[in-house]
Amino acid sequence: MHLLIPAAGTGKRMGGTRNKLLLQVRSQPIIAWTLKAAADASTIKWIGIISQPVDWSDFKAIVADLNLTKPVEFIPGGSSRQESVYNGLQALPANAKQVLIHDGARCLVTPNLLNSCAQAIQQCSGLIAAVPVKDTIKVVDEHGIIQSTPDRQQLWAAQTPQGFNVKLLKQCHAQGLRQGWEVTDDAALFERCGIEVGIVPGEETNLKVTTPQDLAMAEFILSQR
């Protein structure tokens, strides 16, 4: 299985000026924990890190320190996650039939979840890891007034990895460019193109490190493993 790791963000919500994936959790950069999980996932055979070239020297040093035995390619990131993944798809080896896409900031992912998604994508065109929503969700207008309360039974919180048929995902990205669609994940492109996307049960601990509070939670979770 081929794995693309979008890692091109600047981490503005973290309050820093550098790539947040270089921040440390338990004495290791965030991206190192993500790469460790990928290295320990038996299904992953190739890793592409999509990032801004300014970060490549730091990321390459991290990869070297981890002594990864799987091939790792560095791919230029874009101005958005959508553009970065598009670049990553173009850089996949010609023999790639399916791909997993996993945000570098979800450093708490386990090898088991990566393997589960890699196995499941062999039987479908698209999938995402997700967990059922526990909170009651409110739809609120621009004035802060509640408009509706969706049925929680039908709500799932999307995570990564997300898995796709490479040929179909390339077609969806191309259509998104033509139509000017702006989406926050690749599953949304499949949805707009009318292609079914399935669910693989995710992990409650598979949070995305976005804020300083998330960093503290990641520190605690990793200390318990």
Q: What CATH number should be reported for the domain holding residue 205?
A: 3.90.550.10
Asked if residue 149 belongs to a domain, the reply is no
Asked if residue 219 belongs to a domain, the reply is yes
Per-residue pLDDT averaged across 199-216, rounded? 95
Q: Determine the pLDDT at residue 18.
A: 76
Kindly indicate the confidence band of residue 94, based on its pLDDT and cuts at 50, 70 and 90.
Answer: very high
Convert the pLDDT of each residue in 38-65 to its tens digit.
999 999 999 999 999 999 999 999 999 9
Q: Is 216 helix (H, G, I), strand (E, B) or coil?
A: helix
Kindly indicate the confidence band of residue 16, based on its pLDDT and cuts at 50, 70 and 90.
Answer: low
Asked if residue 37 belongs to a domain, the reply is yes
194 Rama class: left (phi>0) / alpha (psi -120 to 50) / beta: left
The helix-helix angle for 30-40 and 111-120 (nearest 10°) equals 60
Q: Is 73 helix (H, G, I), strand (E, B) or coil?
A: strand
Per-residue pLDDT averaged across 212-218, rounded? 94
pLDDT above 90 (res 12): no
Q: Determine the pLDDT at residue 17.
A: 66
Kindly indicate the confidence band of residue 184, based on its pLDDT and cuts at 50, 70 and 90.
Answer: very high
Convert the pLDDT of each residue in 99-143 to its tens digit.
999 999 999 999 999 999 999 999 999 999 999 999 999 999 999
Q: Determine the pLDDT at residue 225.
A: 87
Number of residues in the chain: 225
d(CA 180, CA 177): 5
Quote the domain boundaries for residue 16: 2-128+155-224
Asked if residue 38 belongs to a domain, the reply is yes
**Consecutive H or E run containing 13:** none
Asked if residue 150 belongs to a domain, the reply is no
Asked if residue 161 belongs to a domain, the reply is yes
Note the pTM of the prediction, 2 decimals.
0.94
d(CA 72, CA 147): 47
Per the prediction, the chain carries an average pLDDT of 95
Look at the chain and report how many structural domains it folds into: 1
Convert the pLDDT of each residue in 131-173 to its tens digit.
999 999 999 999 999 999 999 999 999 999 999 999 999 999 9
More confident call, 17 vs 168 = 168
> Which amino acid, residue 2?
H
**Tokens at 156, concatenated:** 């799932």
Asked if residue 148 belongs to a domain, the reply is no
Asked if residue 163 belongs to a domain, the reply is yes
